[in-house]
Amino acid sequence: MCHNPLPQTHKDQLLALFDWLVPVTLRFVRREIKEASGTLDSNLVTTLMRNITSLTSHLAVSVACSSSVRICSDWLSLACAVQDQQVVDGMQPAQVLQHLECTFVFAAVWSLGGTGSGNADRVMFEQFFRHALTSTLPDYTGPSGER
């Protein structure tokens, strides 16, 4: 069993989420968050993409591979993949998109916001990200006073 990439509607939704949240979040992280270990924007975005890929692999369309045969050494992971595919197949398209959005938010919090050096940084990130998700950033003033 091979997995095709996500359907185009899912890709479009992910791209919209990236365009909406990633630039402003990276700007906030650079200006307001003291990182435990220095990072590059590209590394944070790569981590975000890897997390999303990992968390959405069950949304990919399963098809039989005709060009190659893959041997599954772990029957449990194959059973879980089949079970996940059955759950996804039973979901309405709106539910799948909502699941994708929630997965993106989860991955963004841990990949972009998880670099803070202390609890205070995490609290600042949480406040910022809640404003970003509810589209109330114009009302938000960062700890440095920047709007």
- CB 85, CB 62: distance < 8 Å: yes
pLDDT at 65: 40
Residues of the chain under the 50 pLDDT cut: 1-2, 61-83
pLDDT at 136: 83
pLDDT at 48: 95
The model carries a pTM of 0.74
To the nearest 5 percent, what fractions of the chain are helix, strand and coil?
65, 5, 30
Whole-number mean pLDDT of the chain? 78
Instruction: Return the number of other C-beta atoms located less than 10 Å from residue 109's C-beta.
Output: 17
pLDDT at 11: 85
Instruction: Return the number of other C-beta atoms located less than 10 Å from residue 111's C-beta.
Output: 22
Gyration radius of the chain over CA positions? 18
At 70-109, the pLDDT tens digits run 444 443 344 444 445 556 667 777 888 888 899 999 999 9
